[in-house]
Every structure is written in C-alpha cells, then in structure tokens.
Structure 1
Amino acid sequence: MQRGLPALALAALPLLAITPPASADTSAAAVAATPAPVGTAGGAGVRAPLPLFEAIDKLSVEEEHRAGYKRDLYKHWNRGLNAGDGCDTRKEVILAEAGVAPQVAAGCKLTGGSWRSAYDNVVVTDAARLDVDHFVPLAEVYDSERTPWSAARREAYANDQGSPDTLIAVSAASNRSKADKDPAEWLPSDGSYHCTYAATWVGTKLRWDLAVDDAEREALLGLAEDCSTTTVVYEPAP
C-alpha cells in the first residue's frame, strides 16, 4: 500500500510493519525490510514482529454472527483528526495516501492529485473515483466481534486513523468487487499484493481483537505458505 504523506496528511504511524517476500511489491510505506522496534515510533503498545503464521495463530476462531447487522451501526465518516481542516475522515485518508497531492479548496473539495490503488495496481487521478475501504469490512467486523461492541467502539473502528492500515484509498471498482468478503472469498487482483493483504488483514483483526471463522483462517494459512518472510506488527486499539 502506498502511504506517501503530503503536507496536509496525517502524521505517520507505523503500526503494522509488513515484510513481503523478495518478489512482492515493496513500494508501500507499510512494507518494510526491518519492522519498527517495540516501543519506538509505534508507541509502547506495539507488539513485536510476528511471522505471519504465528500472527494467524493468535486469532480466536469463532463462528460468524451476521444477524442484526446494519451498516449504520458503525458511524462514519466523522470530522477526522484535524477538525479544523473541513475534511472528514474519508477525505483525510485520501489526502494522506496521495502520491501526488491534490489541490484542496473550500469544503475540502479535491482536484488533481494521483493515487495508486493497491488492490488492482491502478493509478487513479480523480479523487471522485476512489473509495475509502475499511480493510476489514464493517459487516465482517460485526461478524467477528467476540462480544458486542459499544456504539463508541464501532465509531472508533469506522474512523480509525490510529493505524495507517484500517482504512485504505482504492479504486471504486476494486472496492466494490471486494464488498464485505473475507480472504476466503476475495483477494486483490494484483497478486504481488497478496502477502501484504493477508498480513494487514491479520494485523487489523489483532489490533481490534476480532475473531476469524474456520474458512477464513484456512485461507490465511494458505496465503502464509507463500509469504515465508512476511511479518506483522500491530498495536491494540485503545
């Protein structure tokens, strides 16, 4: 994933450091040859780097529970971290992930700029053609809550900018192809991103103490077989 930060972007928070195999795409700031040490830039709560297999083993395996899900249980988008900039969380993520910064007009109207969509390796030059995706989709979060979350925790997840990986700006087409599917049901069309995708999915679930179901776990383990050098660092959500 690209994490280039323009002047208006949020401060970098390297909470999930992922080391891909040598053949994988290494252009993203979330992909690092040497994960951040515990207790440094990521904060005192950052967990030590784990091989992807070990990180998967830390996930609780439970049945999903979709009954009662409604998207509006997860309030988004809120005012974002910079309440005075006129941009909501969605626009702040788009600004943070721009490879070429867009022009920002009143009301946080964006023109110009350039983004690389990690799911399909497509370059997008119109912010209106971007979706900001919840890396673990909201319906999947609901399925995976180990105990029912409060409204405040659900809003915190839906607008999480404490990790650079919970939210990601991608092409609208790739996001709508993914919808609310987990890795047993959908993977990015860009195969070089699969190790990063698996590690970020696992790290996000660990950050938010979310469970996986059997099929999801088996799919992640299958991906890990081809990602022997991939490691995950995560920080539990507040």
Structure 2
Amino acid sequence: MHHPQLTSRTRRLTALLTALVAALLLTLATAGQAGALPPDIPDEAEARAELAALTVAPDHSMAGYSRAEFPHWITVNGCTTRQTVLIRDGENVEVTPGTCTPVAGTWFSPYDDTTWTKPSQLDIDHVVPLAEAWRSGADEWTRDVRRQFANDLTTSQLIAVSAASNRSKGDQDPADWQPPAAGFHCVYAEMWIHVKHVYELTLEQDEFDALGEMLNSC
C-alpha cells in the first residue's frame, strides 16, 4: 500500500542525510588546508575592523635595526620555533627519533601554490617582517617583546612557505609585495592586519590601501 506520509518523510530524511554528507566532505576537503595555516586568523569582518583601528603614520627610521634585535629561533621544550612551525604546518611529518628535527613530510606553500617534501626547501616567514615591524614601532620595544614577536606561535605571524617566495618578499609590505597566488590574498591580508593589530604597529597609507583592496578579494 502506498503511504504518502512515509514517502514524504523518506524524502526529508534523504535530503538531510545528503546535506550531512556534503558538510562532512567539505570539512574533510578543507581540513588539510586549515591545518597548514597559523592560528588566530580573523575573518574578513574582524580584519576590516582591525584595519580601521590601526594608526596610519610614516615609517620610523631604520637606524639601529638588526635581526639580532629580534632573537630567534628560540628553543622551548626541546624544539626550536622553526621546527615547531614545520611540524605544525606539514602533513605526515617525520622527525629524527628523540628530537624535533623534521626529516620528511609534505608542505604546501600557500604563497605560491607549491608543494614540497624536504624541510630544507621551506622557510618560516614572519608575516610582518622583522624590519617592517621595526619601522612600524618595534624600534621602541624591549628586547623581550621583540623576542616574543619573532617567535610568536599564538597569532598569525609565522608560516612555513617555499624559500623562493619568502626571499622574494624580503621585508616588503603589501603595497610592494603580495603572494604570487592571488587566491591567498584575502587570507594574507587578514594575517598581516591581525599581527599589526595585536602588536599595535602602525602602517603607511599605501599599505592601508593595498590591504583594503586585498580584503575585497575575500
């Protein structure tokens, strides 16, 4: 006997199951990508609010700057900051037994959409470069604060990327350099803005404008 109510209920259950499966597949598809990114990245709305709260001002002098003013990579619980980021951002990372030294794995570099299998092919990028931080206000920090900034694993400041992309970036801000992978511009802007917001660093007008344009790609 045909039961219209049971048929309708079956359709609803089928639709619900289909939606749940789709959500699960989406979660699995994005899990690897999310795992390769640093923590504490704001969403677009939060990034826009943080950008609006930043102070636009001319760069400070580079007088007195040295990378030695930002001690890194420090060792915590037997692992250096570099090792920790490589382990965090990679997949199937193998380390030397009894150490934190990565010897194999797979790393996706979102700056240039490339994949690497040797730790030596990766750099750990300071999203806001040390020199950029210096001319944005870090020249007035204590050495301890600069050490924290250079080894910050709690914000979006550190990320494992290809050595080539990191070295092409140098100490340039988003007005002069953006990731070659245009699809990453939104996230990169969110990361950059958040770091400057957390550390109360300034930014120049062309940097402010470039970041706003990058958020438009979100």
Smaller-chain TM-score bracket: 0.7 to 0.9
2:104 maps to 112
Q: Does the 8 Å CA contact 2:90/2:107 hold for their aligned counterparts?
A: yes
Q: Does the 8 Å CA contact 2:38/2:159 hold for their aligned counterparts?
A: no
- Separation (CA, whole Å) in 2 of partners of 1:206 and 1:197: 14
Q: Once the 2 structures are TM-superposed, how far is the Cα of residue 58 of structure 1 from its aligned partner?
A: 0.8
Over the residues paired in the alignment, what is the CA RMSD in angstroms?
2.2
- Separation (CA, whole Å) in 2 of partners of 1:54 and 1:18: 10
TM score, norm. by length of structure 1: 0.72
Q: Does 1:79 align with 2:104?
A: no
Query: What is the aligned length?
Result: 186
RCO comparison, higher one (Cα < 8 Å, 6+): 1
Q: Once the 2 structures are TM-superposed, how far is the Cα of residue 67 of structure 1 from its aligned partner?
A: 2.1
Q: Once the 2 structures are TM-superposed, how far is the Cα of residue 146 of structure 1 from its aligned partner?
A: 6.8
Q: Does the 8 Å CA contact 1:187/1:194 hold for their aligned counterparts?
A: yes
Residue 189 of structure 2: which of 168, 185, 198 is its match? Answer: 198
Q: Cα deviation per residue 1:2-28 (whole Å; 9 max; x = unaligned)?
A: 4528xxxxxx98522335xxxxxxxxx
* C-alpha spacing 1:72/1:225, structure 2 compared with 1 (3 Å): same
* C-alpha spacing 1:78/1:116, structure 2 compared with 1 (3 Å): same
Q: Does 1:99 align with 2:124?
A: no
Q: Once the 2 structures are TM-superposed, how far is the Cα of residue 101 of structure 1 from its aligned partner?
A: 1.9
1:33 maps to none
Q: Does the 8 Å CA contact 2:114/2:162 hold for their aligned counterparts?
A: yes
The 5-angstrom pairing of residues 81-160 of structure 1 reads 83=77, 86-145=78-137, 148-160=140-152
The 5-angstrom pairing of residues 1-238 of structure 1 reads 2-4=33-35, 14-18=39-43, 50=46, 52-65=47-60, 66-80=62-76, 83=77, 86-145=78-137, 148-163=140-155, 165-227=156-218
TM score, norm. by length of structure 2: 0.78
SS of the residue corresponding to residue 222 of structure 1 reads: helix
Q: Does the 8 Å CA contact 2:129/2:170 hold for their aligned counterparts?
A: yes
The structure number with the bigger radius of gyration is 2
Structure 1 unmatched ranges of 5 or more: 6-11, 20-48, 228-238
Q: Once the 2 structures are TM-superposed, how far is the Cα of residue 103 of structure 1 from its aligned partner?
A: 3.0
* C-alpha spacing 1:60/1:146, structure 2 compared with 1 (3 Å): farther
SS of the residue corresponding to residue 93 of structure 2 reads: coil
> Quick one: which amino acid aligns to residue 125 of structure 2?
D
Q: Once the 2 structures are TM-superposed, how far is the Cα of residue 100 of structure 1 from its aligned partner?
A: 2.2
Q: Cα deviation per residue 1:159-184 (whole Å; 9 max; x = unaligned)?
A: 11122x11000010010011101000
SS of the residue corresponding to residue 101 of structure 1 reads: strand
* C-alpha spacing 1:13/1:219, structure 2 compared with 1 (3 Å): closer
- Separation (CA, whole Å) in 2 of partners of 1:90 and 1:192: 26
